[in-house]
Amino acid sequence: MKILVTGGLGYIGSHTVVELQQSGYEVIIVDNLSNSRIEVLENIEKISGVKPNYENFDLSEANLCADFFRRNADIEGIIHFAAYKAVGESVEKPLEYYKNNIGSLLNIMENMRSFKIENLVFSSSCTVYGQPDELPVTERAPIKEALSPYGYTKQVAEVMISDFIYAHPANSIALRYFNPIGAHKTALIGELPLGVPNNLMPFITQTAIGIREQLSVFGDDYNTPDGTAIRDYIHVVDLAKAHVIAVERMMNKKQKAAFEIFNIGTGNGYSVLEVIQSFEKTSKRKLNYKIVARREGDVEQVWADTNFANNELGWKAEKGLDEMTLSAWNWQLSLK
Ligand code: UD1
């Protein structure tokens, strides 16, 4: 069964490709290397023993996208990761974000219609909840006004998919990721931010190895037990496995509705300081950090109610925080 993975050389995409291959799927990757490296393809092969098919082009270019689908009309399902994801950058470059994140999705759905491809898994984000009124947050929580163009692209994408599914014979599952961290146990694939990392975990490991001088902890005056912000960190391999289950659910016609949305988290919230403590324990290193002012646009605390995903998908995150921070560190050590 042939599955298209867009953004399949990226952080979450590459881990998902491995899990798909290990479950017997044939994978074709489309990735324009805007935030990934071609070496990832070989490393996927080292893990799974199979080199996925790969094409390099920009999915927001309608002609290129249509040409690809004409040549690959036997694709049975699509997992759409390819998107920009830096919150701050999206404020500076909104048009790039709309073109890439919305334009690509539009092109993909047009081709799903043309070539009668019925199954789409979409990478959404807990960012759609903003600061929820109730924690843990369920999928029924209201969508809050987006704080950035990035966040808005995820909200709009979910609406676009919902409208598309309503009008056409197709199915979709949107997975709202919480905070993926960690790396594959082989340390052959992991998070590879180009430039200065925005996210916490790569900033921690790069600081510990000496690429960055010091980690800034953004705020210790939040209304949380230790004052630092709380997130639901999830191991990227657990997250990748959720995609395989979502694909299987669609292929086996197990969906209860044509468009379903699931929180993909662990259900546990950890503060920034707790992540640092876990990292220091597993890496046996002291981390150089200082407390600075809050980062604009950050929510205070969010973690997932995972009951719907656990019960409906039969999926549950299995790996704990220490396994996440240790695997992230082993990945950092493996990078030259
Ligand atoms: C952010 C986005 C989220 C997006 C994700 C992917 C927001 C509110 N959320 O998640 O929608 O899907 O990135 O890019 O912007 N921190 C530090 N120092 C650092 C970096 C981070 O203290 O150098 C703190 C942050 O303040 C936050 C936590 O670590 O409390 C996690 O930050 P990060 O990894 O950037 O993820 P989010 O901001 O939760």
210 in the same domain as 77: no
**Mean predicted lDDT score pLDDT of the chain:** 97
The answer to whether 270 is a known catalytic residue is: no
Q: Answer yes or no: do 78 and 205 share one domain.
A: no
Same domain assignment for residues 171 and 272: no
What is the pTM assigned to this prediction? 0.98
pLDDT interval class at 109 (50, 70, 90)? very high
Is the pLDDT at 45 greater than 90? The verdict is yes
Question: In angstroms, how far is CA 224 from the centroid of its own chain?
Answer: 26
219 and 132, same domain (yes or no): no
Give tens-digit pLDDT for 2-18. Answer: 999 999 999 999 999 99
Atom of ligand 1 nearest to the CA of 86: 14
Residue 148 and residue 205 in one domain: no
Residue 159 burial class via C-beta count within 10 angstroms: exposed 0-12, middle 13-18, buried 19 and up: exposed
238 and 323: one domain?
no
Distance CA 18, CA 2 (A): 14
Question: Is residue 316 predicted with pLDDT exceeding 80?
Answer: yes
CATH number at residue 177: 3.40.50.720
336 pLDDT above the threshold of 80? no
Residue closest by Cα to atom 30 of ligand 1: 229
Q: If you measure from the C-alpha of residue 105 to the centroid of ligand 1, how many angstroms do you get, rounded to a whole number?
A: 24
Domain assignment of residue 192, yes or no: no
> Do residues 97 and 218 both lie within one domain?
no
DSSP state string for 90-125: HHH-HHHHIIIIIIHHHHHHHHHHHHT--EEEEEEE
142-161: per-residue pLDDT in tens? 999 998 999 999 999 999 99
Closest to 27 in 3D by CA, of 168, 38, 9, 102: 9
The yes-or-no verdict on residue 21 having pLDDT over 80 is yes
- The confidence score (pLDDT) of residue 54 equals 98
What is the domain range of residue 223? 200-230+267-304+318-334
The average pLDDT across 255-271 equals 98
How many independent structural domains does the chain possess?
2
Q: Is residue 95 part of a domain?
A: yes
The CATH number of the domain where 210 resides is what?
A: 3.90.25.10
User: Catalytic residue among 84, 97, 129, 150, which?
Assistant: 150
Residues 167 and 298 in one domain: no
User: Amino acid identity of 121?
Assistant: V
